[in-house]
Structure 1
Protein backbone atom coordinates (compact mmCIF):
# COMPACT_ATOMS: atom_id res chain seq x y z
CA UNK A 1 0.00 0.00 0.00
CA UNK A 2 2.84 2.40 0.80
CA UNK A 3 4.29 1.89 -2.69
CA UNK A 4 0.92 2.58 -4.27
CA UNK A 5 0.50 5.80 -2.30
CA UNK A 6 3.97 6.97 -3.27
CA UNK A 7 3.33 6.15 -6.93
CA UNK A 8 0.02 8.01 -6.91
CA UNK A 9 1.68 11.07 -5.41
CA UNK A 10 4.46 10.98 -7.95
CA UNK A 11 1.99 10.66 -10.81
CA UNK A 12 0.54 13.99 -9.74
CA UNK A 13 3.73 15.57 -11.09
CA UNK A 14 2.37 14.97 -14.58
CA UNK A 15 -0.30 17.66 -14.18
CA UNK A 16 2.18 20.54 -14.18
CA UNK A 17 4.19 18.96 -17.00
CA UNK A 18 1.08 18.49 -19.14
CA UNK A 19 0.27 22.18 -18.73
CA UNK A 20 3.76 23.10 -19.95
CA UNK A 21 3.73 20.75 -22.97
CA UNK A 22 0.63 19.79 -24.93
CA UNK A 23 1.99 16.67 -26.65
CA UNK A 24 4.75 14.23 -25.68
CA UNK A 25 6.34 12.67 -28.76
CA UNK A 26 7.23 9.00 -28.31
CA UNK A 27 10.13 7.91 -30.53
CA UNK A 28 10.47 4.27 -31.56
CA UNK A 29 12.11 2.25 -34.32
CA UNK A 30 9.03 0.43 -35.59
CA UNK A 31 11.13 -2.47 -36.86
CA UNK A 32 11.78 -4.78 -33.92
CA UNK A 33 8.84 -7.12 -33.25
CA UNK A 34 7.40 -7.97 -30.82
CA UNK A 35 8.77 -4.86 -29.08
CA UNK A 36 7.74 -2.40 -31.78
CA UNK A 37 6.70 -2.73 -35.42
CA UNK A 38 4.47 -1.22 -38.08
CA UNK A 39 1.19 -3.13 -38.52
CA UNK A 40 -0.87 -3.63 -41.68
CA UNK A 41 -2.64 -0.33 -41.05
CA UNK A 42 0.67 1.52 -41.09
CA UNK A 43 0.58 2.26 -37.36
CA UNK A 44 3.13 1.62 -34.61
CA UNK A 45 2.20 -1.60 -32.82
CA UNK A 46 3.69 -4.10 -30.38
CA UNK A 47 4.56 -4.37 -26.71
CA UNK A 48 6.00 -0.88 -26.47
CA UNK A 49 3.04 0.74 -28.24
CA UNK A 50 0.65 -0.83 -25.73
CA UNK A 51 2.98 0.01 -22.85
CA UNK A 52 3.56 3.60 -23.98
CA UNK A 53 -0.14 4.26 -24.43
CA UNK A 54 -0.86 2.92 -20.94
CA UNK A 55 1.94 4.99 -19.37
CA UNK A 56 0.65 8.14 -21.06
CA UNK A 57 -2.88 7.36 -19.86
CA UNK A 58 -1.74 6.93 -16.27
CA UNK A 59 0.35 10.09 -16.42
CA UNK A 60 -2.53 12.00 -18.05
CA UNK A 61 -0.33 12.98 -20.97
CA UNK A 62 -1.30 13.36 -24.62
CA UNK A 63 1.23 11.36 -26.62
CA UNK A 64 1.93 10.84 -30.30
CA UNK A 65 4.21 8.28 -31.96
CA UNK A 66 7.21 9.01 -34.15
CA UNK A 67 9.41 6.45 -35.93
CA UNK A 68 13.15 6.83 -36.38
CA UNK A 69 15.91 4.56 -37.64
CA UNK A 70 17.91 2.92 -34.87
CA UNK A 71 21.34 4.29 -35.76
CA UNK A 72 20.23 7.90 -35.23
CA UNK A 73 17.61 7.40 -32.53
CA UNK A 74 19.66 8.97 -29.70
CA UNK A 75 20.96 11.99 -31.69
CA UNK A 76 17.43 12.80 -32.84
CA UNK A 77 16.16 12.65 -29.26
CA UNK A 78 18.89 15.05 -28.15
CA UNK A 79 18.15 17.40 -31.06
CA UNK A 80 14.46 17.55 -30.11
CA UNK A 81 12.76 15.53 -32.86
CA UNK A 82 10.85 13.68 -30.12
CA UNK A 83 10.77 13.65 -26.32
CA UNK A 84 11.12 10.00 -25.34
CA UNK A 85 12.79 6.88 -26.75
CA UNK A 86 10.76 3.73 -26.19
CA UNK A 87 12.41 1.25 -28.52
CA UNK A 88 13.76 -1.80 -26.72
CA UNK A 89 16.76 0.23 -25.58
CA UNK A 90 18.92 -1.36 -22.89
CA UNK A 91 20.08 0.86 -20.05
CA UNK A 92 23.88 1.14 -20.16
CA UNK A 93 26.45 3.39 -18.53
CA UNK A 94 27.71 4.50 -21.94
CA UNK A 95 24.27 5.65 -23.11
CA UNK A 96 23.56 7.20 -19.73
CA UNK A 97 26.43 9.61 -20.34
CA UNK A 98 24.47 11.10 -23.25
CA UNK A 99 20.82 10.73 -22.23
CA UNK A 100 18.82 9.91 -19.11
CA UNK A 101 16.77 6.78 -18.43
CA UNK A 102 13.67 5.89 -16.49
CA UNK A 103 13.70 2.81 -14.31
CA UNK A 104 13.58 -0.36 -16.39
CA UNK A 105 10.22 -1.57 -17.67
CA UNK A 106 11.53 -5.08 -18.38
CA UNK A 107 14.36 -7.04 -16.80
CA UNK A 108 17.36 -7.74 -19.06
CA UNK A 109 16.25 -9.77 -22.07
CA UNK A 110 18.61 -12.66 -22.84
CA UNK A 111 20.45 -12.40 -26.14
CA UNK A 112 20.81 -15.46 -28.37
CA UNK A 113 22.60 -16.60 -31.49
CA UNK A 114 20.69 -17.62 -34.61
CA UNK A 115 22.42 -19.78 -37.23
CA UNK A 116 21.88 -22.33 -39.98
CA UNK A 117 23.57 -25.16 -38.04
CA UNK A 118 24.58 -26.00 -34.50
CA UNK A 119 28.30 -26.39 -35.22
CA UNK A 120 29.06 -22.75 -36.06
CA UNK A 121 32.07 -21.07 -34.45
CA UNK A 122 30.58 -18.42 -32.17
CA UNK A 123 33.90 -17.26 -30.73
CA UNK A 124 36.08 -17.17 -33.83
CA UNK A 125 33.62 -16.96 -36.70
CA UNK A 126 31.77 -14.10 -38.38
CA UNK A 127 28.86 -12.80 -36.30
CA UNK A 128 26.26 -10.30 -37.50
CA UNK A 129 24.51 -7.76 -35.27
CA UNK A 130 22.52 -4.58 -35.60
CA UNK A 131 24.78 -1.54 -35.41
CA UNK A 132 24.77 0.45 -32.19
CA UNK A 133 23.42 -2.37 -30.03
CA UNK A 134 24.73 -4.12 -26.94
CA UNK A 135 25.06 -7.26 -29.03
CA UNK A 136 27.39 -5.54 -31.52
CA UNK A 137 29.58 -4.35 -28.67
CA UNK A 138 29.66 -7.83 -27.14
CA UNK A 139 30.66 -9.50 -30.42
CA UNK A 140 33.39 -6.90 -31.01
CA UNK A 141 34.98 -7.83 -27.68
CA UNK A 142 34.43 -11.59 -27.95
CA UNK A 143 37.14 -12.42 -30.47
CA UNK A 144 34.68 -13.12 -33.28
CA UNK A 145 34.58 -11.01 -36.45
CA UNK A 146 31.74 -8.50 -36.23
CA UNK A 147 29.75 -7.31 -39.22
CA UNK A 148 27.12 -4.67 -38.49
CA UNK A 149 23.88 -3.88 -40.26
CA UNK A 150 21.39 -1.03 -40.01
CA UNK A 151 18.44 -3.34 -39.26
CA UNK A 152 18.07 -6.72 -37.55
CA UNK A 153 16.42 -8.12 -40.67
CA UNK A 154 19.57 -7.37 -42.68
CA UNK A 155 21.68 -9.14 -40.04
CA UNK A 156 19.50 -12.25 -40.32
CA UNK A 157 19.70 -12.07 -44.11
CA UNK A 158 23.51 -12.16 -43.81
CA UNK A 159 23.21 -15.53 -42.09
CA UNK A 160 20.84 -16.86 -44.72
CA UNK A 161 23.12 -15.86 -47.60
CA UNK A 162 26.31 -17.14 -45.95
CA UNK A 163 27.86 -13.74 -45.27
CA UNK A 164 27.78 -14.42 -41.52
CA UNK A 165 27.94 -17.61 -39.47
CA UNK A 166 25.36 -16.40 -36.93
CA UNK A 167 23.51 -13.33 -35.72
CA UNK A 168 23.32 -12.16 -32.10
CA UNK A 169 20.17 -10.32 -31.02
CA UNK A 170 17.47 -10.28 -28.34
CA UNK A 171 16.14 -13.79 -27.85
CA UNK A 172 12.53 -12.56 -27.90
CA UNK A 173 13.16 -11.23 -31.40
CA UNK A 174 14.98 -14.29 -32.74
CA UNK A 175 12.77 -17.11 -31.40
CA UNK A 176 9.78 -16.28 -33.66
CA UNK A 177 12.16 -16.07 -36.63
CA UNK A 178 13.51 -19.55 -35.88
CA UNK A 179 9.99 -20.92 -35.43
CA UNK A 180 8.94 -19.61 -38.85
CA UNK A 181 12.06 -20.72 -40.76
CA UNK A 182 12.99 -24.39 -40.53
CA UNK A 183 16.52 -23.67 -41.77
CA UNK A 184 17.35 -21.36 -38.85
CA UNK A 185 17.89 -22.35 -35.22
CA UNK A 186 18.88 -20.90 -31.87
CA UNK A 187 22.40 -22.08 -31.03
CA UNK A 188 24.88 -21.78 -28.17
CA UNK A 189 24.28 -20.37 -24.71
CA UNK A 190 22.18 -17.29 -24.00
CA UNK A 191 24.10 -14.10 -23.27
CA UNK A 192 23.04 -11.71 -20.48
CA UNK A 193 23.61 -8.06 -21.41
CA UNK A 194 22.59 -4.69 -19.97
CA UNK A 195 20.50 -3.59 -17.02
CA UNK A 196 17.05 -4.00 -18.52
CA UNK A 197 15.04 -1.88 -20.94
CA UNK A 198 14.07 1.70 -20.11
CA UNK A 199 12.73 4.87 -21.67
CA UNK A 200 15.39 7.32 -22.84
CA UNK A 201 14.98 11.06 -22.30
CA UNK A 202 17.04 14.22 -22.58
CA UNK A 203 19.00 14.85 -19.41
CA UNK A 204 17.25 18.21 -19.00
CA UNK A 205 13.77 16.63 -18.88
CA UNK A 206 13.90 15.64 -15.22
CA UNK A 207 10.20 16.21 -14.55
CA UNK A 208 9.13 14.09 -17.52
CA UNK A 209 11.45 11.28 -16.40
CA UNK A 210 9.99 11.39 -12.90
CA UNK A 211 6.47 11.32 -14.35
CA UNK A 212 7.15 8.21 -16.43
CA UNK A 213 9.09 6.61 -13.56
CA UNK A 214 6.00 6.92 -11.40
CA UNK A 215 3.76 5.50 -14.11
CA UNK A 216 6.09 2.52 -14.64
CA UNK A 217 6.19 1.90 -10.90
CA UNK A 218 2.40 1.97 -10.68
CA UNK A 219 2.22 -0.71 -13.39
CA UNK A 220 4.75 -2.83 -11.51
CA UNK A 221 2.85 -2.41 -8.26
CA UNK A 222 -0.55 -3.47 -9.60
CA UNK A 223 0.77 -6.33 -11.77
CA UNK A 224 -0.26 -4.76 -15.09
CA UNK A 225 3.30 -4.61 -16.39
CA UNK A 226 3.96 -8.31 -15.77
CA UNK A 227 0.71 -9.19 -17.54
CA UNK A 228 1.77 -7.14 -20.55
CA UNK A 229 5.24 -8.73 -20.61
CA UNK A 230 3.64 -12.21 -20.57
CA UNK A 231 1.19 -11.27 -23.33
CA UNK A 232 3.95 -10.14 -25.70
CA UNK A 233 6.60 -12.64 -24.49
CA UNK A 234 9.33 -10.02 -24.59
CA UNK A 235 11.23 -10.84 -21.40
CA UNK A 236 11.03 -12.50 -18.02
CA UNK A 237 8.68 -10.89 -15.52
CA UNK A 238 9.62 -8.89 -12.44
Structure 2
Protein backbone atom coordinates (compact mmCIF):
# COMPACT_ATOMS: atom_id res chain seq x y z
CA UNK A 1 0.00 0.00 0.00
CA UNK A 2 2.82 2.42 0.88
CA UNK A 3 4.51 1.66 -2.44
CA UNK A 4 1.27 2.36 -4.31
CA UNK A 5 0.74 5.68 -2.53
CA UNK A 6 4.36 6.71 -3.12
CA UNK A 7 4.13 5.81 -6.80
CA UNK A 8 0.95 7.87 -7.19
CA UNK A 9 2.59 10.81 -5.47
CA UNK A 10 5.67 10.62 -7.69
CA UNK A 11 3.54 10.45 -10.83
CA UNK A 12 1.49 13.46 -9.77
CA UNK A 13 4.61 15.45 -8.85
CA UNK A 14 6.31 14.57 -12.11
CA UNK A 15 3.28 15.69 -14.13
CA UNK A 16 3.15 18.97 -12.23
CA UNK A 17 6.88 19.61 -12.71
CA UNK A 18 6.64 18.93 -16.44
CA UNK A 19 3.87 21.49 -16.77
CA UNK A 20 5.74 24.07 -14.72
CA UNK A 21 8.86 23.60 -16.84
CA UNK A 22 6.87 24.01 -20.04
CA UNK A 23 7.75 20.51 -21.22
CA UNK A 24 4.26 19.01 -21.20
CA UNK A 25 3.37 18.43 -24.85
CA UNK A 26 -0.14 17.12 -24.25
CA UNK A 27 -2.73 17.65 -21.53
CA UNK A 28 -4.92 14.57 -21.18
CA UNK A 29 -8.60 15.33 -20.59
CA UNK A 30 -10.29 12.50 -18.71
CA UNK A 31 -14.05 12.02 -19.04
CA UNK A 32 -16.60 9.26 -18.59
CA UNK A 33 -18.17 9.33 -22.04
CA UNK A 34 -21.50 8.04 -20.70
CA UNK A 35 -23.44 11.01 -19.33
CA UNK A 36 -25.20 13.02 -22.05
CA UNK A 37 -25.54 15.89 -22.65
CA UNK A 38 -22.35 16.54 -20.69
CA UNK A 39 -20.24 13.81 -22.28
CA UNK A 40 -20.91 10.72 -24.39
CA UNK A 41 -19.44 8.69 -27.24
CA UNK A 42 -20.79 9.42 -30.72
CA UNK A 43 -21.33 6.87 -33.48
CA UNK A 44 -17.64 7.07 -34.37
CA UNK A 45 -16.66 6.20 -30.80
CA UNK A 46 -15.34 9.72 -30.13
CA UNK A 47 -16.03 11.86 -27.07
CA UNK A 48 -18.82 14.34 -27.80
CA UNK A 49 -21.23 16.59 -25.93
CA UNK A 50 -21.18 19.84 -24.00
CA UNK A 51 -17.92 19.10 -22.20
CA UNK A 52 -16.15 18.04 -25.39
CA UNK A 53 -16.95 21.38 -27.01
CA UNK A 54 -16.16 23.24 -23.80
CA UNK A 55 -12.88 21.40 -23.23
CA UNK A 56 -11.68 21.98 -26.78
CA UNK A 57 -12.43 25.71 -26.48
CA UNK A 58 -10.74 25.97 -23.08
CA UNK A 59 -7.65 24.23 -24.42
CA UNK A 60 -7.53 26.59 -27.40
CA UNK A 61 -7.82 29.66 -25.17
CA UNK A 62 -5.20 28.31 -22.76
CA UNK A 63 -2.92 27.49 -25.72
CA UNK A 64 -2.71 23.85 -24.69
CA UNK A 65 -2.67 20.71 -26.80
CA UNK A 66 -5.30 18.40 -25.34
CA UNK A 67 -6.01 14.71 -25.83
CA UNK A 68 -9.26 13.03 -24.78
CA UNK A 69 -9.37 9.78 -22.83
CA UNK A 70 -12.26 7.94 -21.16
CA UNK A 71 -12.38 6.36 -17.74
CA UNK A 72 -15.10 4.66 -15.70
CA UNK A 73 -16.72 6.98 -13.18
CA UNK A 74 -16.02 4.99 -10.02
CA UNK A 75 -12.23 5.22 -10.52
CA UNK A 76 -12.04 8.63 -12.21
CA UNK A 77 -10.51 10.47 -9.22
CA UNK A 78 -7.94 7.79 -8.26
CA UNK A 79 -6.73 7.59 -11.85
CA UNK A 80 -6.32 11.37 -12.00
CA UNK A 81 -4.21 11.29 -8.83
CA UNK A 82 -2.21 8.36 -10.25
CA UNK A 83 -1.30 10.35 -13.35
CA UNK A 84 -3.33 8.49 -15.97
CA UNK A 85 -4.63 11.86 -17.20
CA UNK A 86 -4.30 15.48 -16.14
CA UNK A 87 -7.84 16.86 -15.95
CA UNK A 88 -11.26 15.51 -15.06
CA UNK A 89 -14.00 17.02 -17.21
CA UNK A 90 -16.92 14.72 -16.55
CA UNK A 91 -19.92 16.51 -15.09
CA UNK A 92 -18.24 16.44 -11.69
CA UNK A 93 -19.86 18.70 -9.11
CA UNK A 94 -17.58 20.62 -6.79
CA UNK A 95 -17.95 19.30 -3.24
CA UNK A 96 -15.94 19.71 -0.03
CA UNK A 97 -15.35 15.95 0.15
CA UNK A 98 -13.82 15.79 -3.33
CA UNK A 99 -11.87 18.98 -2.74
CA UNK A 100 -9.98 17.21 0.03
CA UNK A 101 -8.50 14.81 -2.53
CA UNK A 102 -8.18 16.90 -5.70
CA UNK A 103 -8.38 20.55 -6.70
CA UNK A 104 -11.04 22.29 -8.79
CA UNK A 105 -11.18 25.22 -11.15
CA UNK A 106 -13.99 27.73 -10.83
CA UNK A 107 -17.32 26.27 -11.89
CA UNK A 108 -18.36 26.21 -15.54
CA UNK A 109 -22.00 25.42 -14.73
CA UNK A 110 -24.20 26.65 -11.94
CA UNK A 111 -25.66 23.97 -9.65
CA UNK A 112 -27.94 22.00 -11.98
CA UNK A 113 -31.21 20.74 -10.51
CA UNK A 114 -31.31 17.03 -9.86
CA UNK A 115 -34.54 15.33 -10.81
CA UNK A 116 -36.34 12.02 -10.33
CA UNK A 117 -37.45 9.56 -13.00
CA UNK A 118 -39.99 6.87 -12.11
CA UNK A 119 -42.58 4.56 -13.62
CA UNK A 120 -45.36 6.17 -11.61
CA UNK A 121 -46.16 9.61 -10.26
CA UNK A 122 -46.85 7.95 -6.91
CA UNK A 123 -43.25 6.77 -6.46
CA UNK A 124 -42.23 6.94 -2.79
CA UNK A 125 -39.28 9.34 -2.65
CA UNK A 126 -39.15 9.49 1.15
CA UNK A 127 -39.02 5.86 2.21
CA UNK A 128 -38.83 3.94 -1.07
CA UNK A 129 -35.86 2.52 -2.97
CA UNK A 130 -33.94 5.15 -4.94
CA UNK A 131 -31.21 4.49 -7.49
CA UNK A 132 -28.17 6.67 -8.18
CA UNK A 133 -24.79 6.32 -9.80
CA UNK A 134 -21.99 5.41 -7.40
CA UNK A 135 -19.89 8.24 -5.93
CA UNK A 136 -22.23 11.02 -7.05
CA UNK A 137 -23.75 13.90 -5.11
CA UNK A 138 -27.13 12.29 -5.72
CA UNK A 139 -26.04 9.05 -4.05
CA UNK A 140 -24.73 11.00 -1.07
CA UNK A 141 -27.98 12.95 -0.81
CA UNK A 142 -30.10 9.78 -0.78
CA UNK A 143 -27.81 8.13 1.77
CA UNK A 144 -28.39 11.02 4.17
CA UNK A 145 -32.19 10.65 3.98
CA UNK A 146 -34.72 8.00 4.93
CA UNK A 147 -35.01 6.28 1.53
CA UNK A 148 -33.04 3.14 0.67
CA UNK A 149 -30.12 3.80 -1.69
CA UNK A 150 -29.12 1.36 -4.43
CA UNK A 151 -25.98 2.34 -6.34
CA UNK A 152 -24.86 1.39 -9.83
CA UNK A 153 -21.60 1.90 -11.72
CA UNK A 154 -23.18 3.52 -14.78
CA UNK A 155 -26.11 5.91 -15.30
CA UNK A 156 -27.71 3.47 -17.74
CA UNK A 157 -27.93 0.85 -15.00
CA UNK A 158 -29.85 3.24 -12.74
CA UNK A 159 -32.52 3.68 -15.42
CA UNK A 160 -32.69 -0.09 -15.97
CA UNK A 161 -33.19 -0.59 -12.22
CA UNK A 162 -36.38 1.46 -12.32
CA UNK A 163 -37.69 -0.27 -15.44
CA UNK A 164 -37.13 -3.76 -14.03
CA UNK A 165 -38.55 -2.95 -10.61
CA UNK A 166 -35.35 -2.87 -8.55
CA UNK A 167 -35.87 0.80 -7.66
CA UNK A 168 -38.83 3.15 -7.34
CA UNK A 169 -37.03 6.11 -8.90
CA UNK A 170 -33.66 7.43 -10.10
CA UNK A 171 -32.09 10.64 -8.84
CA UNK A 172 -29.67 12.28 -11.30
CA UNK A 173 -28.97 15.57 -13.06
CA UNK A 174 -32.16 16.80 -14.66
CA UNK A 175 -30.31 17.61 -17.88
CA UNK A 176 -29.43 13.91 -18.15
CA UNK A 177 -32.86 12.56 -17.21
CA UNK A 178 -35.14 14.85 -19.24
CA UNK A 179 -34.37 13.48 -22.74
CA UNK A 180 -34.62 9.92 -21.40
CA UNK A 181 -38.09 10.58 -20.01
CA UNK A 182 -39.12 12.32 -23.24
CA UNK A 183 -38.03 9.32 -25.30
CA UNK A 184 -39.59 6.57 -23.15
CA UNK A 185 -43.36 6.49 -22.62
CA UNK A 186 -42.93 4.20 -19.60
CA UNK A 187 -40.89 6.74 -17.66
CA UNK A 188 -42.12 9.89 -15.92
CA UNK A 189 -40.12 12.93 -14.83
CA UNK A 190 -41.43 13.81 -11.38
CA UNK A 191 -41.99 17.40 -10.30
CA UNK A 192 -39.75 17.28 -7.22
CA UNK A 193 -36.22 18.60 -7.71
CA UNK A 194 -33.12 18.83 -5.52
CA UNK A 195 -30.44 21.54 -5.80
CA UNK A 196 -27.12 19.89 -4.92
CA UNK A 197 -23.44 20.77 -5.10
CA UNK A 198 -21.60 23.92 -6.07
CA UNK A 199 -21.73 23.61 -9.82
CA UNK A 200 -19.40 21.64 -12.09
CA UNK A 201 -15.69 22.35 -12.46
CA UNK A 202 -12.53 20.81 -13.87
CA UNK A 203 -10.78 18.45 -11.46
CA UNK A 204 -7.00 18.58 -11.23
CA UNK A 205 -4.21 17.25 -9.06
CA UNK A 206 -3.48 19.61 -6.18
CA UNK A 207 0.10 20.03 -7.40
CA UNK A 208 -0.95 21.35 -10.84
CA UNK A 209 -1.46 24.97 -9.80
CA UNK A 210 -0.23 26.44 -13.09
CA UNK A 211 -2.61 24.29 -15.11
CA UNK A 212 -5.46 25.33 -12.82
CA UNK A 213 -4.62 29.00 -13.38
CA UNK A 214 -4.60 28.54 -17.16
CA UNK A 215 -8.00 26.87 -17.17
CA UNK A 216 -9.45 29.35 -14.68
CA UNK A 217 -8.45 32.20 -16.98
CA UNK A 218 -9.99 30.42 -19.96
CA UNK A 219 -13.27 29.75 -18.12
CA UNK A 220 -13.41 33.35 -16.95
CA UNK A 221 -12.93 34.62 -20.51
CA UNK A 222 -15.79 32.42 -21.75
CA UNK A 223 -18.04 33.76 -19.00
CA UNK A 224 -17.10 37.34 -19.85
CA UNK A 225 -17.70 37.12 -23.60
CA UNK A 226 -20.94 35.11 -23.30
CA UNK A 227 -19.68 32.06 -25.17
CA UNK A 228 -20.13 29.80 -22.14
CA UNK A 229 -23.79 30.80 -21.85
CA UNK A 230 -24.25 30.10 -25.56
CA UNK A 231 -22.77 26.62 -25.12
CA UNK A 232 -24.97 25.90 -22.10
CA UNK A 233 -28.05 26.95 -24.06
CA UNK A 234 -27.02 24.83 -27.07
CA UNK A 235 -26.88 21.69 -24.93
CA UNK A 236 -30.00 22.67 -22.93
CA UNK A 237 -28.22 22.85 -19.60
CA UNK A 238 -29.99 25.18 -17.19
CA UNK A 239 -28.48 28.28 -15.63
CA UNK A 240 -26.75 31.31 -17.09
CA UNK A 241 -23.75 33.18 -15.75
TM-score by length of structure 1 reads 0.92
Would you say 1:56 and 2:28 are equivalent positions? no
For 1:75 and 1:89, how far apart are their aligned partners in 2? 14
RMSD: 1.0
1:124 aligns with 2:127: yes
After TM superposition, the structure 1 = structure 2 runs for residues 132-211 of structure 1, keeping only pairs within 5 Å, are 132-211=135-214
| Partner SS, residue 20 of structure 1 | coil
Q: 1:7 aligns to what?
A: none
The equivalent residue for 1:220 is 223
Counterpart Cα distance in 2 of 1:152 and 1:36: 12
Q: Distance in 1 between matches of 2:159 and 2:31?
A: 21
Question: Which residue, 20, 25, 28 being the options, matches 2:23?
Answer: 20
Deviations 1:206-228 (A, max 9, x none): 00000000000000000000000
Spell out, residue by residue over 1:151-184, the C-alpha distance to the aligned partner (whole angstroms, 9 max, x if none). Answer: 0100000000011000000000000000000110
Kindly state the Cα deviation for residue 28 of structure 1 after the two structures are TM-superposed. 0.1
In 2, the alpha carbon distance for the partners of 1:154 and 1:222 equals: 39
Number of residue equivalences: 223
Runs of 4+ that moved beyond 6 A: none
Unaligned segments of structure 1, at least 5 residues: 1-15
Partner of 1:77: 80
Deviations 1:119-171 (A, max 9, x none): 01101000000000000000111100000000010000000001100000000
d(CA) in 1 for partners of 2:155, 2:48: 17
Deviation of residue 187 (structure 1)? Answer: 1.1
Matched position secondary structure for 2:185: coil
* Corresponding residue for residue 71 of structure 2: 68
Residue 22 of structure 2 aligns to a residue whose secondary structure is: helix
Unaligned runs of 5+ in 2: 1-18
Residue 236 of structure 1: how far off its partner (Å): 1.3
1:47 paired residue number = 50
Cα offset, 1:20, TM superposition: 2.5
